[in-house]
Structure 1
Amino acid sequence: MLEIFIIAFCLYFIFNTYTSFMQIGYIKDAKILKPIILDSSKYLEAADYAIEKEKLAIGSSFYDFILFILWIGFGLSYLDSLVQIDSFWIKAVVFVDLFIIINWFLTLPFELYSTFKLNKKYGFSNMTPALFIKDTIKTGVLFLVFGSVVIAAISFIISTFSTWWIWGFVFIFAVIILINMLYPVIRDKMFDKFEKLKDKELEAKIENLLDEVGFKSSGVFSVDASKRDNRLNAYFGGLGATKRVVLFDTLVEKLSHNELLAVLGHELGHFKNGDILKNIGIMGVVMFVFFDIFGNLPDELFLGLSVKNEPYAIIAVFMIFSPILSFFLMPLISMISRHNEYAADEFGSNLSTKEDLVSALLKLANENKSFPLSHPMYIFFYYSHPPLVERFKELGYDVHSMNFETILKTNLNAE
């Protein structure tokens, strides 16, 4: 059984690395073509950024493969020998916490390089060492407190029920729903500064838009995302009574009212089309499959890893091998997501205008330096959103014949 998982991980590593190499080659060829969607300077800069990100991803994949070999070769058994605790749930908490902390520490160089080197080079990251340390401490405290409680609860379920994987799925699925409900509140209290929109005219327009589609929220907020990153974004956070509209301060600064409403109209399209519930359902099905597989692993697998078939080892094995299943399920999930994005674009453009949505997407692409072209295989595996070229085509725009710089300038003059 262990051999099957090793072969699966090797295939995952090969496919993952191969798609990155294909993407780099594709972008290098596309880089010399006539710029589309982005202006000339940002087209080249976005290409360079995309290539550097993929190179970093390849390095990270090789590194993860080495860590995988080390963990299954002797890491798990060595950690098991260090954590000699009789209580099954305390051992699980200590073992899994140490496993996660060691992994985080070993992969920290990649995070530091991405944040303080790569993203600063291309004008994205505003992160300071002090803020990074502050965020890390807060995240660590949340993990040690709430993560440990979840680990202890799962350990209890594994040790108590013969069909623990069913009850484990129910518990974890409920935890994920709870986290989604509390996410905006946690971000507000511990990480970001949420404020009511200072632009009351914009706030009124957004409230009218929400009322038009029947979206009930606890308010419209601006968040100081620029203290960490210059990219533009917006999201609907929370579930039930905690639902709120969150706009990055960078988005409010860069987009006109009409463009903002077009972006929110797209997001409301997901709400109106039931995509949020569909995504929760898909996530539930995927999780159930995961728990079914990892809840019925034979003792031979754990014997091969030199650990016991007990809660601490089951959780660690789940964390090591679940990325494999996620990767090979990704194309199906991404395909469904891309379909939903087209429908949301149509809904958003009907709420506002196609011109406003296209202009907003242009600004987002230019400010976020999103290279508009990708290898088909890369799109197949990784793109949860359709390429902008295809989105514009569905909206009735041919990127090869339209002058997008003119559209942007026209929109700017109209503000």
Structure 2
Amino acid sequence: MLELIIGIYSLYTFMRVYISVMQIGYINQEKRKDPVLMPAGKYMVAANYAVAKEKLAIVEHFVDYLMFVWWVFAGFSWLSSLVSVDGQIMQAVLFLYGFMVVNYIVGLPFELYQKFKIDEDFHFNQMTLRMYVLDTLKSAVMFVVLGGVLFALLAWIIVNYEMWWLGGFVLLFGVALLVNVLYPTVIAPIFNKFNPLEEGELKDAITAMMEKVGLKSDGIFVMDASKRDSRLNAYFGGLGKSKRVVLFDTLLEKLNKEELLAVLGHELGHYSHGDIWKNIGLMGLLLFVVFFLFGHLPDELFIQMHVAPHAGVKIATLMLLLPLVSFIFTPFMSYVSRHNEYAADAFGSKMGGQDNLVSALLKLVTENKSFPKSHPLVIFFYYTHPPIIERLNAMGYDAANTVAGEEKSEKTAEGIFTFVDRKSQ
């Protein structure tokens, strides 16, 4: 059994590395062609940023594989020998703390390199080392407290119920729903400041849009995202009465009122189409499959790993193998998400104006240094949003033959805003 799992994990690692290699080759080839959607200099920067991330990802894939092999052949038995306390629940919690801490330490250099080297070089990172340490300490406290409670509950279910996988699924799915409810009002404010949007035309216009689709929210807030990162974003967060509109301060700085309303119209499209609940349903399906499969792992597997199948080991094994199942599900979930994005674009075009949404998307792709092209395998597996060129084409915009400039030209005969510096046909 262990040999089969190692073989599957090896194939999984090979696929991830192969996809990254294909992406690097594809982008390096495309960046030498005429730029689209952004000026030549920014086009090259976006390409180099994408390549830098993929190169780091390849190294991380290999390290993940080595860690997987170490855990199943020696790591679990080593950690079990260190955790010798009375009580199955406490033993499981301490074992899982150890499992998570080891993985965090191994992954920390990649996180630091991404944030303080790659993101710094490409002028995204605004976070100081002090701020990073404070965020890490806050996350650690939350993990120890909330993670410990969750681990204890899962371990209790495993110890007391033969069909523990079903109870574990119900628990995790319930926790996921609770996190969605609490995130915007309880969790997110631990790390960022959220100030109510000032009274004025923008707030009135957003409120009117929300009333059109019947969305009642906890309010419209501006998040101080710029103190950590320069990228632009906005989102609707929460479930039930905790729903709120969140605008990054970076977005308010770069987009005008009409563009902001078009972007929020897109997000309202997700709400109107019930995409949040669709995503929750897909997540629930994935969780159910994961718990069912790993709830029926034979004891032979744990014998081969030289460890007793106690609650902590079972949960850690589930966490270790979760990426395998997620990777298989990813293309389907990504396809559904891309379909939803097209529908949300159409909705946003009606709510905020198609020209304004096009203009906003062009600014977003440029400011976020998002290279507009990707290898088909990357799109198939990982893209939750359609490629920006395809999104713009779906709205009638000739994206493949456009280079963004600094100012808009006059409206074309087709009624679509284009940008100066259009390539010759």
Structure 2: distance between partners of 1:105 and 1:400: 43
Which residue is equivalent to 1:93? Answer: 93
Deviation at 1:186, TM superposition (A): 2.7
Which residue is equivalent to 2:109? Answer: 109
Q: Does 1:367 align with 2:354?
A: no
Which residue is equivalent to 1:228? Answer: 228
Which residue is equivalent to 1:344? Answer: 344
Structure 1: distance between partners of 2:126 and 2:198: 23
Letter in structure 1 aligned against 2:365? A
Say what the alpha-carbon RMSD is for the aligned residues.
Answer: 1.5
SS of match in other structure, 2:400: coil
Deviation at 1:400, TM superposition (A): 2.9
SS of match in other structure, 2:221: strand
Structure 2: distance between partners of 1:201 and 1:74: 62
Deviation at 1:177, TM superposition (A): 0.5
Cα deviation code 1:184-227 (max 9, x no counterpart)? 12345411000011352211111111011111100000000110
Letter in structure 1 aligned against 2:30? A
Contact 1:76 1:305 in 2 (8 A): yes
SS of match in other structure, 1:222: strand
Q: When the two structures are superposed, what TM-score results if normalisation uses the length of structure 2?
A: 0.95
Contact 2:92 2:151 in 1 (8 A): yes
Q: Does 1:2 align with 2:2?
A: yes
Alignment of 1:62-211 (within 5 A): 62-198=62-198, 200-211=200-211
Which residue is equivalent to 1:238? Answer: 238
How has the CA–CA distance of structure 1 residues 40 and 395 changed in structure 2, closer, same or farther, with 3 Å as cutoff?
same
Which residue is equivalent to 2:423? Answer: none
Structure 2: distance between partners of 1:152 and 1:385: 37
Letter in structure 1 aligned against 2:194? F
User: Which structure features the higher share of helix residues?
Assistant: 1
Letter in structure 1 aligned against 2:248? F
Contact 1:31 1:47 in 2 (8 A): yes
Alignment of 1:321-340 (within 5 A): 321-340=321-340
How many positions carry a matched residue from both structures?
413
Q: Does 1:259 align with 2:259?
A: yes
Structure 2: distance between partners of 1:33 and 1:197: 43
SS of match in other structure, 2:195: strand
Which residue is equivalent to 1:272? Answer: 272
How has the CA–CA distance of structure 1 residues 130 and 408 changed in structure 2, closer, same or farther, with 3 Å as cutoff?
farther
Structure 2: distance between partners of 1:237 and 1:160: 36
Structure 1: distance between partners of 2:115 and 2:135: 13
Structure 2: distance between partners of 1:133 and 1:12: 33
Deviation at 1:378, TM superposition (A): 1.1
Structure 1: distance between partners of 2:418 and 2:32: 28
Identical-pair percentage: 49
SS of match in other structure, 1:355: helix
Deviation at 1:409, TM superposition (A): 6.6
Structure 1: distance between partners of 2:402 and 2:298: 59
Structure 2: distance between partners of 1:135 and 1:333: 30
Contact 2:262 2:357 in 1 (8 A): yes
How has the CA–CA distance of structure 1 residues 188 and 107 changed in structure 2, closer, same or farther, with 3 Å as cutoff?
closer
Which residue is equivalent to 1:309? Answer: 309
Deviation at 1:270, TM superposition (A): 0.8
How has the CA–CA distance of structure 1 residues 171 and 408 changed in structure 2, closer, same or farther, with 3 Å as cutoff?
farther
Contact 1:362 1:408 in 2 (8 A): no
Letter in structure 2 aligned against 1:264? L
Deviation at 1:404, TM superposition (A): 3.5
Deviation at 1:412, TM superposition (A): 12
Letter in structure 1 aligned against 2:275? D
Unaligned runs of 5+ in 1: none
Q: When the two structures are superposed, what TM-score results if normalisation uses the length of structure 1?
A: 0.97
Contact 1:359 1:407 in 2 (8 A): no
Structure 2: distance between partners of 1:409 and 1:146: 54
Deviation at 1:399, TM superposition (A): 1.5
Structure 1: distance between partners of 2:332 and 2:133: 37
Which residue is equivalent to 1:33? Answer: 33
Structure 1: distance between partners of 2:232 and 2:53: 19
Contact 2:35 2:403 in 1 (8 A): no
Deviation at 1:402, TM superposition (A): 3.9
Contact 2:389 2:400 in 1 (8 A): no
Cα deviation code 1:267-300 (max 9, x no counterpart)? 1111111111111111111100000001111000
How has the CA–CA distance of structure 1 residues 289 and 408 changed in structure 2, closer, same or farther, with 3 Å as cutoff?
farther
Which residue is equivalent to 1:320? Answer: 320
Contact 2:38 2:403 in 1 (8 A): no
SS of match in other structure, 2:245: strand
SS of match in other structure, 1:221: strand
Alignment of 1:280-319 (within 5 A): 280-319=280-319
Deviation at 1:68, TM superposition (A): 1.0
Deviation at 1:403, TM superposition (A): 5.0
Which residue is equivalent to 2:392? Answer: 392
Cα deviation code 1:372-402 (max 9, x no counterpart)? 0011111101101000111011100122334
How has the CA–CA distance of structure 1 residues 375 and 236 changed in structure 2, closer, same or farther, with 3 Å as cutoff?
same
How has the CA–CA distance of structure 1 residues 190 and 412 changed in structure 2, closer, same or farther, with 3 Å as cutoff?
farther
Structure 1: distance between partners of 2:287 and 2:57: 26
Letter in structure 2 aligned against 1:149? V
Letter in structure 2 aligned against 1:387? P
Structure 2: distance between partners of 1:409 and 1:111: 42
Letter in structure 1 aligned against 2:111? E
Structure 2: distance between partners of 1:158 and 1:111: 33
Structure 2: distance between partners of 1:13 and 1:254: 39
